[in-house]
A = this chain, B = another copy of it.
């Protein structure tokens, strides 16, 4: 009989707790980020990543389980800053409406400021179910939960109509944000964050019907 450990027992796993973040690892992530700005994930080869980082291909697999793992970790880094910035801003607002306006504006701003981040999140990671087990997705969920809490609180305090469904409102807000960014990411156009975010807020809060 044959027993196989499918859970990863990588021979050399980095101790990403703390000090040692070897130069090779950093070079690989930087190299990959740079390439992601130019082309899509699948047309970037491991050979390309390595030569661009001036290391050998094998080294990639010392620090990353596979190519996708590299993708997720790069995403995760960007996500971290994003998350921190928004949570801070939200804390500065009092009313539910203002908080949601911050969510809309800051999300658009982050997406616009950080093309690679948004490209990965909106276009690349979704097509593989692995992502939804990754720690990067855990952050998405946390962000998502924060928004839901704001909404539920707004309904409770009477700021929002009692008949709106919190989950649906979140869908509308997040969907609008993502959709607004897509065109800009894909076709590389600039987007007027102030315009778009106040436009979305106007519709979502006041409604479009005359």
- State the A residues within 8 Å of B (CB): 40-42, 97, 122-124, 126-129, 132, 158-165, 168-169, 171-172, 174-180, 182, 186-187, 195-196, 199-200, 202-210
Contact = CB atoms under 8 A, between A and B. Distances in A.
Give 10 nearest A-B pairs by CB, closest first: A207-B207, A175-B179, A175-B175, A168-B199, A205-B209, A175-B176, A172-B176, A206-B207, A123-B127, A165-B199
B210 A208 contact: no
Contacts of A210: 158-162
A194 to B, nearest CB: 12
A75 B37 CA distance: 27
Interface of A is mostly: helix
Count identical subunits in the complex. 2
Contact of A175 (B127, B169, B177, B206): B177
A160 B208 CA distance: 6
Residue among A126, A163, A168 having the largest count of chain B Cβ atoms under 10 Å: A168
Contacts of A168: 180, 196, 199-200, 202-203
A203 B129 contact: no
A132 B183 CA distance: 11
25 contacts: A40-B128, A40-B129, A41-B127, A42-B42, A42-B128, A97-B209, A122-B126, A123-B126, A159-B210, A161-B208, A168-B196, A168-B199, A171-B200, A172-B175, A172-B176, A174-B179, A175-B176, A175-B178, A175-B179, A178-B179, A179-B179, A203-B204, A205-B207, A205-B209, A207-B207
